[in-house]
Amino acid sequence: MKTLKYIMAMAMACSVNMACMNSNWDEPELSPEQAGIGNNAIKETHVVSVADLKAKYKEYINTDCRDGNSFTQVAEDMQIKAVVTGNDAQGNLYNEISVDDGTGAIIIAIAQGGIYGQLPIGTEILVDLKGLYVGNYGKQAEIGAPNTNAHGQTYVGRMNRFVWARHFKVTGDGKTVEPVLFDKSITVNKYGNVYDGKLVTLKNVSFKSADGKATYAYAGSGPGSKQVYFNEYNSKLVMLYTSNFAKFAAHPLPTGKVNVTGVMKRFNNTWEIVIRTLDDVEEIK
């Protein structure tokens, strides 16, 4: 009898311990905002165009973080309503999306992976800007939060995903996203007015380093990227940027003529076209 009681007591103790262990490992219950699906309480009240937003904060957007204050917090009620044109579907646009409202485009930086699952291309969103920061990263107009690098320089970068969840609302989906054609007649000093953050297509181009073996980037080499130049354009005008973490980094570059579509971004004095997926490179037969 004593043996039976001992066995029963041990079984109960194990049961309690397992329950405690299970409770420790259970995922915390998240609110809809914490789950990252946006804030449906946002009302459309103070919408400005992306072009007007960038004009209002041009002093910060045009200031190098090494030379002065390159960002500021939005203190007034202000919103933008725009369509997602780029996301992290294959890891090349990392922790960010590009949005366009027809008047202009801008990058929104978010410390979150898998954004493409919540915000596919063509999703329309309303963004409440009050409390967020507007400025630049490498002279590229961006919405986000202050970040400080190893050199002690502070710039606008990725915001916390919970902060982002409180500041956006999905207002539509399946919107048509049309890239603009790259116009070689436009001088590089005018790019910011035309291409900054925009979805752009370069027609009938070819890659300088393509030999059947050269790849988009250096897969497996850790953090970093690869810049690939076009035979048809000076490297100071535009280049292809690919992250080493892009899912297609190890894929060989096409050797023939292609049409390339991607988000056009500025990094200081260079302009990079960042493809979203491998489908953005169309081989011309």
Choose among 79, 88, 159, 160: nearest CA to 121.
88
State pLDDT tens for residues 127-157.
Answer: 999 999 999 999 999 999 999 999 899 999 9
**Other C-beta atoms within 10 Å of 268: how many?**
11
Q: Where are the alpha helices (DSSP H) in 182-283?
A: 191-194
**Other C-beta atoms within 10 Å of 17: how many?**
10
Q: What is the DSSP string of 140-158?
A: EEEEEEEEE-TTS-EEEEP
Domain positions in the chain are: 50-172, 180-283
| Cβ(281)–Cβ(94) below 8 Å | no
List Cβ neighbours of 34 (8 Å cut-off, separation of 6 or more): 162, 165
Please report the pLDDT score of residue 188 as a whole number: 87
| Cβ(198)–Cβ(274) below 8 Å | no
For residue 226, the Cα-to-chain-centroid distance in whole angstroms is: 18
**Other C-beta atoms within 10 Å of 8: how many?**
10
Please report the pLDDT score of residue 227 as a whole number: 96
Please report the pLDDT score of residue 52 as a whole number: 98
Amino acid at 75: A
Please report the pLDDT score of residue 208 as a whole number: 96
Report residues of the chain scoring pLDDT below 50. Answer: 1-36
Distance CA(143)–CA(79), nearest Å, equals: 12
Please report the pLDDT score of residue 57 as a whole number: 98
Domain 180-283 in CATH 2.40.50? The answer is yes
| Cβ(249)–Cβ(215) below 8 Å | yes
Please report the pLDDT score of residue 43 as a whole number: 97
Region of 197 please: left (phi>0), alpha (psi -120 to 50) or beta.
left
Please report the pLDDT score of residue 13 as a whole number: 44
Please report the pLDDT score of residue 47 as a whole number: 98
**What single-letter DSSP state applies at residue 94?**
T
In degrees, to the nearest 5, what angle opens at C-alpha 170 toward C-alphas 169 and 174? 165
Which architecture does CATH list for 50-172?
Answer: Beta Barrel (2.40)
Distance CA(118)–CA(32), nearest Å, equals: 13
Determine which helix (DSSP H) or strand (DSSP E) holds 199, and give its type and residue range.
Answer: strand 199-205
